């Protein structure tokens, strides 16, 4: 199963990706998480990416494409993957197509989580994330069981530096100009599926399972 998740920042991609990854036994690959890990470890990639991310800009395509290619080479991607946050430009989508074609592989689905803009600001400014395992929470809609602590690994959860109102607005503008064209890109390849992301988290997941199929188990 090779899936990409599309949708504006705050649509719920990371939240749903955790459940999809565990239900369908495919690795969740978030380019944002990989960049953040590199930033915290002060690698050369992290140092190069940091300013773009802090300002809500996209990291340049060549850096991002090289990073994702090396991630897709890892053993756990042999039976599929779930990409969250990649591709974000048509150039990245074309590079992914070329990469898969060389391996005689192809995507199964581009799943768009559709959420109108007026939901986004509230979701993003109330988001809290776990810096250790990447889990995403919301102060109102999805609070952790213990205040300030990740349910999964117990680390302190934090607000992302790029989740301020000004940076979110910048990211939404970039989404409109650079990433939204991917909806038509995948629609023209007959790969696009759409779920409404405005429902509760578990209901969105139900809709996703209806699209991806329910006959999967851990042995597939
Ligand atoms: P993305 O990865 O698309 O940027 P996230 O999965 O991090 O988005 O979700 C953004 C914020 O919205 C988080 O705080 C998350 O807890 C919250 N959220 C996600 N899905 C829903 C939903 N269906 N209803 C309400 N809040 C949600
Ligand atoms: P995310 O965690 O998906 O919200 O991504 C956080 C930030 O990482 C984005 O605002 C970008 O600065 C950067 N980023 C993540 N994925 C990509 C990508 N595919 N192309 C360029 N920049 C990216």
Q: Which domains does the chain have, with CATH numbers?
A: 2-26+79-115+167-219 (3.40.50.300)
Nearest residue by C-alpha to atom 26 in ligand 1: 141
Model pLDDT, residue 134: 86
Q: Is 84 exposed, middle or buried (0-12, 13-18, 19+ CB in 10 A)?
A: buried
Calculate how far, in angstroms, residue 170's C-alpha sits from the geometric centre of ligand 2. Answer: 12
- pLDDT at position 219 over 90: no
Catalytic residue ranges: 13, 88, 127, 160, 171
Ligand in closest contact with the CA of 71: 2
pLDDT in tens, 166-187: 999 999 999 999 999 999 999 9
pLDDT in tens, 117-160: 999 999 999 999 999 888 999 999 999 999 999 999 999 999 99
| Tens of pLDDT, residues 55-111 | 999 999 999 999 999 999 999 999 899 999 999 999 999 999 999 999 999 999 999
Please report the pLDDT score of residue 79 as a whole number.
Answer: 87
Check if the beta carbon of residue 165 is closer than 8 Å to that of residue 158. no
- CA 34 to ligand 2 center in whole angstroms: 9
pTM of the model: 0.94
Rounded Cα distance, 50 and 38, in Å: 9
pLDDT single digits (tens) 185-204? 999 999 999 999 999 999 99
Using CA atoms, how far apart are residues 159 and 163, in angstroms rounded to an integer? 7
């Amino acid at each position: 199963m090779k899936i990409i998740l599309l949708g504006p920042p705050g649509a719920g991609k990371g939240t749903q990706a955790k459940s999809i990854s565990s239900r369908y036994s495919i690795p969740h690959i978030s380019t944002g998480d990989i960049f953040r890990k590199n930033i915290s470890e002060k690698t050369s990639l992290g140092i190069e990416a940091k300013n773009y991310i802090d300002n809500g800009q996209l990291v340049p395509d060549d850096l991002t494409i090289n990073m994702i290619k090396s991630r897709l080479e890892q053993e756990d991607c042999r039976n599929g993957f779930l990409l969250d946050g990649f591709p974000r430009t048509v150039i990245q989508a074309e590079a992914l197509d070329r990469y898969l074609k060389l391996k005689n592989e192809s995507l199964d689905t581009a799943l768009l989580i559709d959420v109108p803009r007026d939901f986004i600001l509230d979701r993003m400014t109330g988001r809290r994330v776990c810096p250790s395992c990447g889990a995403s929470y919301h102060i109102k809609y999805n609070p952790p069981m213990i205040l300030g602590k990740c349910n999964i690994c117990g680390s302190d959860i934090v607000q992302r530096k790029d989740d301020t109102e000004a940076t979110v607005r910048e990211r939404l503008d970039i989404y409109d100009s650079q990433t939204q064209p991917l909806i038509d890109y995948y629609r023209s390849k007959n790969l696009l599926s759409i779920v409404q992301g405005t429902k509760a988290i578990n209901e969105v997941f139900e809709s996703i399972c209806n699209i991806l199929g329910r006959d999967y188990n851990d042995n597939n």
